[in-house]
Copies of this chain bind each other. A is one copy, B any other.
């Protein structure tokens, strides 16, 4: 088979998504049967609008700098293509003689990739179709972890290390809201810089456990009495016992419209509402005067200068692995990162079926969650090799 290549970057950007783009492109360049290599601007959106960047001849040093730059260099999209949308995509792909399609993204994006692949099969259009994993949420099935997660986790860990020191210096209750719709992995990363029991975060709330206001207030009260302060990590996706996200309840109370994307996901980030609500709750119910809330927001996924080297290398390698699979024969699929060994840390990049990953969500094993409000050492052991060395800090004993 010979033909041209299209690579797209979809969903929320990460600090290393360009590594995967470059990993695919540099592995394919110059290979037999590979023609032009195009990057689709804004993912499927650029594919229907015939907007592409030609990557075939970009000098390697430029590609290397792009690889080291956070966020999706090609631009992204949250569109979910329906039949009409896909028909337009195939029209463009045919016109451009594209036989290889790589889509870098999370579980919604892998579902988009699956739909395009199925429609290609149905319409008899020959297309090697690969999903390359990417998500700071770390919530893809069959993956030990996903590219983008470790860098975001490093950011969250270093932010909490600093905020713990800040909270020691000027005591009070501090709530930090971390990204994470259904999976608490990123929020759990907040504990990575803890050196002892006194270090915060003292309480960690993830979406894997239903959030109970009374229990929460009880824990905050007890922690504040014990340490004279309390640092709290909360996932933006926490929900009540009936599985209603706090974000929906708050929007209803405040008379705001709840935004949803094409995949049906509620808009959670880009507002301080959840943090402010929890802060007011603690202030009013516990009569603690100094209560503050911060929402980490988009910095977690795009901050320049806080990338995990392991994450960057794996994101590049998983793109290269997808390219090699596509060159190897008539296969489609998604690449999964699987941990082969713990010490020394070693991973393998395994092909799995698109349907095994698409639209499914992996959540954190409950064995990592302690008492509904803390994170076990088992999770720290899991995360340590991904995040790498954190800065050394020292305090007066």
Is there a chain B Cβ closer than 8 Å to A373's Cβ?
Answer: no
Residue contact A305 to B306, C-beta cutoff 8 Å? yes
Residue contact A158 to B271, C-beta cutoff 8 Å? no
Give A397's nearest chain B residue, CB to CB: B53
Minimum CB–CB distance for A168 against chain B, Å: 7
Q: Work out how many copies of this chain go into the complex.
A: 2
Is there a chain B Cβ closer than 8 Å to A296's Cβ?
Answer: yes
Residue contact A162 to B304, C-beta cutoff 8 Å? yes
Pick the residue among B69, B280, B395 that contacts A394 (CB under 8 A): B69
Q: How large is the interface on A (under 10, 10 to 19, 20 to 34, 35 or more residues)?
A: 35 or more
Q: How far is the CA of A305 from the CA of B158 in the complex (A)?
A: 7
Is there a chain B Cβ closer than 8 Å to A35's Cβ?
Answer: no
Contacts A65-B392, A71-B165, A395-B73; A272 near B295 (Cβ below 8 A): yes
Q: How far is the CA of A94 from the CA of B303 in the complex (A)?
A: 50
Give A72's nearest chain B residue, CB to CB: B169
Residue contact B13 to A170, C-beta cutoff 8 Å? yes
Minimum CB–CB distance for A151 against chain B, Å: 11
Is there a chain B Cβ closer than 8 Å to A297's Cβ?
Answer: yes
Q: How far is the CA of A76 from the CA of B13 in the complex (A)?
A: 38
Pick the residue among B269, B279, B293, B393 that contacts A304 (CB under 8 A): B393
Q: How far is the CA of A256 from the CA of B276 in the complex (A)?
A: 11
Give A294's nearest chain B residue, CB to CB: B297
Is there a chain B Cβ closer than 8 Å to A270's Cβ?
Answer: yes
Give A18's nearest chain B residue, CB to CB: B394
Give A12's nearest chain B residue, CB to CB: B170
Is there a chain B Cβ closer than 8 Å to A310's Cβ?
Answer: no
Is there a chain B Cβ closer than 8 Å to A180's Cβ?
Answer: no
Q: How far is the CA of A162 from the CA of B16 in the complex (A)?
A: 12
Instruction: Point out the residues of chain B lying under 8 angstroms from A294, CB to CB.
Output: 270, 272, 295, 297-299
Instruction: Point out the residues of chain B lying under 8 angstroms from A269, CB to CB.
Output: 292
Q: Give A138-160 as 1s and 0s: 1 = Cβ < 8 Å from B's Cβ atoms.
A: 00000000000000000000110
Residue contact B66 to A396, C-beta cutoff 8 Å? yes
Instruction: Point out the residues of chain B lying under 8 angstroms from A193, CB to CB.
Output: 304
Which A residues, 143 to 192, have Cβ-Cβ distances below 8 Å to chain B?
Answer: 158-159, 161-163, 165-166, 168-171, 174
Instruction: Point out the residues of chain B lying under 8 angstroms from A3, CB to CB.
Output: none
Q: Give A34-73 as 1s and 0s: 1 = Cβ < 8 Å from B's Cβ atoms.
A: 0000010000000000000100000000100110111111
Give A63's nearest chain B residue, CB to CB: B394
Q: How far is the CA of A395 from the CA of B301 in the complex (A)?
A: 17
Q: How far is the CA of A159 from the CA of B306 in the complex (A)?
A: 10
Minimum CB–CB distance for A371 against chain B, Å: 27
Residue contact A270 to B297, C-beta cutoff 8 Å? no
Pick the residue among B171, B296, B298, B302 that contacts A299 (CB under 8 A): B296
Is there a chain B Cβ closer than 8 Å to A273's Cβ?
Answer: yes
Pick the residue among B71, B272, B305 that contacts A169 (CB under 8 A): B71
Minimum CB–CB distance for A166 against chain B, Å: 4
Instruction: Point out the residues of chain B lying under 8 angstroms from A120, CB to CB.
Output: none
